[in-house]
Structure 1
Amino acid sequence: MTGRRADLPQLKPGLFVSDGGMETTLIFHEGVDLPHFASFVLLDSEEGRERLRAYYERYLAIARRHGRGLMLDSPTWRANPDWGAKLGYDAAGLKRINEASIALLDELRQAWETAQTPIVVAGVIGPRGDGYAEGRMSAAEAEDYHAPQIASFSKTAADMVAAYTLNYVEEAIGIARAARARAMPCSISFTVETDGKLVGGRSLRDAVETVDRETDAAPAYYMINCAHPTHFEQALSADAPWMKRLMGVKANASTKSHAELDESETLDSGDPIDLGRRYRRLRETYPGLRILGGCCGTDDRHVAAICEACA
């Protein structure tokens, strides 16, 4: 339903920015109640939709100010059957929510996009379980599980699907296969622990290479999210062939481990200027990193600092 699926703008030379940590921003900065860390529930009220519009418009303004492309990620990280059931959403309700999320982003794109600031709309997929604990699905089970959400996105104006905070390869393989079956480009973003490895001990290199091998390189590209640069820098290597597949970073503001963040009752926003400098060094060493945003603890201050540092 969109010609961009065959020609994603972010695959061309140039820098794209993304948003920060949506859920941590809404909960800690704006006092919004997000049960089970699910921001998609806001789509069910006009007040909630207006709050989401205001959130996205901060990043749209940053992208326009800096003349950068923007990734608009839908607020559907929790909009899958397991989490949906906890919130009272059945299959029909989740389909409606996933479609509504893209309609909202497409409205924003039509209002904000310019030739200098192309906007890519992505339907976001999150892990079936806890993003910080290793899952247990087989690749076939993961493909079946995530297929309905991907199918919902495929019937909208979404340009692609973007899977975030994955921590084991079988789920990533299943998502990539389900997206390919529905002719949807996808990105796969892994999260790592403080040692730069996935929670089960697999290296980031092995994770990327395994998914590519098992899916005939179905993902359009890979990313890292929900970890601080000090956690994953050790896993990167400028000369390694797999690094050509790594195109984006959405880092945490905090240097704390996932376990420490889980136990924390306050938000660690880190230092936006320092994070921007770290992104600049990453870009200098790995120029293939062209999609830059934030995850837990980050907000528009961090993304603005990243844009300024990487100018």
Structure 2
Amino acid sequence: MSNTEAHPAELTCTATSSHGEVEILEPRDVPLGGPRAMRVRRTLPQRQRSFTGAWCFTDHYGPEDVASSGGMDVAPHPHTGLQTVSWLFTGEIEHRDSGGVHGFVRPGEINLMTGGHGICHSEVSTSNTPTLHGVQLWVALPAHARDAPREFQHHSPDLVELDGASLRVFLGSLAGSTSPVSTHTPLLGAELVLEPGGTVELEVDPAFEHGILVDTGQARAGATSIAPGALAYLPTGRSTITLENTHEGPTRIILLGGTPFEEEIIMWWNFVGRTHEEIARFREDWEERSDRFGAVEGYVGKTERIPAPPLPNAQLKPRRNPSSR
């Protein structure tokens, strides 16, 4: 998914230390463009915190009535220095990218696209989609992989039944389930559904920091309540996470995790880089239709491609993500 804000802010990509406490990140409402635009709830990045592990961008949308909103129609747009992770609860999205991939995002299936050196892609909800509901996530690539070639991975994780809950692990390992999808830093991504009144204790890697995004229902992590749409951040040092459903119906959660990302980066528009000059070069390459990004074949939409917004007058400065301990 593109960051379609016309005037994207410079993101400082820093994090505060919460010394073992659960930190609640409230979402902000972001339109994806136009008067009938689909709106998303964005919990990462923000001033309070920019990362959970290498997860650097979290958009949560729906359930969206496509007949009212027009659904998703994101024209070809570029990426550098990151991986995109698409995960749906309902609906279907057609994906095309400049690596020659033409596929579909469907509920319970992960699509992971790598755009290190450069890639462009389009995303359009299909005619089979009366309701669109899901998350779109970005992962920052570390220095050794930030120039990685275009790649696309698809996986349908098995459903794992637990006492009081069920889950699908789409990245990393949890509760005896491991995803074959490869990443360049240690990561965790899973959908967890808690039954009414259900409580689950999950063994997790204490080297990971974690994010708990509540989709539907209401949950409690330890003594901290998490409202729908909010992201709870948990620092490193925990070997278990206890989650409780405090809602009368099922509660659905996206659980994210990873080792702290401690490199300095700049994230501006759809690019992740290291210097102002590098970001400016990425923008120029996109505007000049450079081979860095290639082209998307077969997209038919409201516009041929998304133009890059102007750079801010100020110098973009990299920031370092402090230790979460």
- Give the TM-score category using the shorter length: 0.3 to 0.5
TM-score, scaled relative to structure 1: 0.33
TM-score, scaled relative to structure 2: 0.32
Question: Highest CA radius of gyration, 1 or 2?
Answer: 2
Say which structure, 1 or 2, has more relative contact order (CA 8 Å, 6+ apart): 2
Kindly indicate which of the two structures has a greater share of residues assigned to helix.
1
